[in-house]
Amino acid sequence: MDKIGIFDFGGQYCHLIARRIRDLGVYADIIYEPSDEYKGFILSGGPGDVYTDQAPKLPENFFLDVEVPVLGICYGHQMIAQAHGGEVKKGEEREYGKKIAELDSSSPLFFNLSKREQVWMSHFDQVAKLPDNFETIGKTNICPIAAYQNLEKNVFGVQFHPEVIHTPSGDRILENFIEITESKKEWKLEGWVESKIDQLRSEIKDKRVIMGTSGGVDSSVAAVLLSKADINAHFIYVDTGLMRSKETEEVSNIFKNLGIENFHVVEAEDEFLDNLIGIINPEEKRKIIGRKFIEIFEREAKKIGNFDYLGQGTIYPDRIESAQPSKHASIIKTHHNVGGLPEKMSLNLVEPLKELYKDEVRRIGKMLGLPEKFINRHPFPGPALAIRILGEVTKDRVKILRNADAIVTEIIEASGLYNQLWQIFPALITVKSVGVMGDKRTYDYMITIRAVESIDAMTADWSKLPYSVLEEISNQIINKVSGINRVLYDITSKPPGTIEYE
């Protein structure tokens, strides 16, 4: 089938571009070198500065050798301009978030768009001077060359990000580029399941897999895929002592109801808490938890028998934020099941979902027959409550946060808002503030509530929850959770924040 290649220059949205192209019906690969098999190329954004020696570069003679259409996004937009003799430099102002761009709707890239469109910007550098034979087709009040084209070469560039949902007409722009490449729309996710099951069966054969399961959507869907492939697998759930209220009981019931055999629960609270004593740095927390998971998996594997593979529910965003496999990406945070893994393990990895995003995983879950309520469960991080405690993790602090989490979940489910949110959770800020209760001074911790709306977790908007709901959450936490005297509400989107705090 026709394919479009996405050059990875380390942008956090690089794989999101591929996702959008796939959603529009054309298969997309993440690549580092050009090939004749592609009908077009998209150059991703990235954290580098194109005018520095360390900046990621295109292969030599790229524009001399490539004859198919090319679209540059953000860093890619700047790279194309520079490669053709244009000038890129620091802008006078940073430009982040939603902006209004004036577009030339006569351009084939902006076909069927309005002359004024909301776009998502995330840059400081910008194209200051266009190369010869290039023309401006878009601008904002801060960025006079927000988009350009060279119709003779079929080369286009946009400083903004059409791949994120905050550019409402972004899919239309990408679809226009697909039309420019004359690619046939032949990619469907439905064929992925059978192909993946066949691949797992062929790859693993008669070898044995020990699968790490958290009870979340990702690891559960991965477990069902392994189960359907008739692979000799055992499924390990580690109770780290950092879990939500009744989490272990609920996870055990989920796997029982899914009919998955060889499910084992390992109680390891003391091990994890002992290893986290005095640890404040979020990256250290994640890596310690990752190493401890592997130690326990390997130890349990020896008890059960000899295993060859460690199965995980790793998905694309985990790898992207951990800067893997990109050689250019900036590490946002190390996910315990990716960058948190030790360099040397006795088990090989098998990660059936590592090329998919959360919404794709949910669609796969539906195809596999998982219950709707389970599929729509909010994401819960592998390191669990440890990365929702901003500071040292102790047993008392985990108890405080676990109690607050149970209250938040109960209220949101009762309000009918649960399925409207991507996530909602409390986090414990281990800084104390003065309060007053029963005419007495208190000096206790603060809880912050994080509620976001998103499609794929690559970008997210803070949710405008009703004041009455926020008031009930605050009142119940203050009244029922000992050690808390103040509740805050986080109104930060992603970017600039991440969804989780650590």
Q: What is the pLDDT of residues 125-163, one digit of tens each?
A: 899 999 999 999 999 988 999 999 999 999 999 999 999
Instruction: State whether residue 56 is helix, strand or coil.
Output: coil
Average pLDDT over every residue of 336-353: 66
- Of 128, 132, 170, 177, nearest to 152 (Cα)? 132
pTM of the model: 0.68
- How would residue 329 be classed by pLDDT, with cut points 50, 70 and 90? very low
Widest Cα–Cα separation across the chain? 77
Average pLDDT over every residue of 449-454: 96
- Of 234, 383, 255, nearest to 309 (Cα)? 234
Reading the block at residue 77, the tokens are 């937009």
Average pLDDT over every residue of 367-383: 85
Specify whether the CB–CB gap between 229 and 200 falls below 8 A: yes
Q: In whole angstroms, what is the distance from residue 298 CA to residue 398 CA? A: 26
DSSP letters spanning 456-480: SSSSBEE----HHHHHHHHHHHHHH
Q: What is the 3-state secondary structure (H, E, C) of 229-294?
A: CCCEEEEEEEECCCCCCCHHHHHHHHHHHCCCCCEEEEECHHHHHHHCCCCCCHHHHHHHHHHHHH
In terms of average pLDDT, the best of 304-308, 354-358, 496-500 is: 496-500
- Could you read off the pLDDT of 222-263 as tens digits, one per residue? 999 998 898 899 999 999 999 999 989 988 888 888 888 889
How many residues can be counted in the chain?
502
Please check the confidence at residue 319 and state whether its pLDDT lies above 70: no
Q: In whole angstroms, what is the distance from residue 243 CA to residue 249 CA? A: 11
| Between 301 and 328, residue with greater pLDDT | 301
* Residue 365, amino acid: G
- How would residue 268 be classed by pLDDT, with cut points 50, 70 and 90? very high
**According to the model, what pLDDT value does residue 320 have?**
56
Specify whether the CB–CB gap between 34 and 58 falls below 8 A: no
The burial class, CB within 10 Å (0-12 / 13-18 / 19+), for 139 is middle
Name all domains of the chain by residue range, CATH numbers in brackets: 3-181 (3.40.50.880), 190-375 (3.40.50.620), 394-489 (3.30.300.10)
Other Cβ atoms closer than 10 A to 239: 17
**According to the model, what pLDDT value does residue 333 have?**
44
- How would residue 340 be classed by pLDDT, with cut points 50, 70 and 90? very low
- Could you read off the pLDDT of 97-130 as tens digits, one per residue? 789 999 999 999 999 999 999 998 887 789 999 9
Q: In whole angstroms, what is the distance from residue 147 CA to residue 126 CA? A: 11
Q: Across 285-328, where does the E strand assignment appear?
A: 309-311
Active-site positions read 74, 161, 163
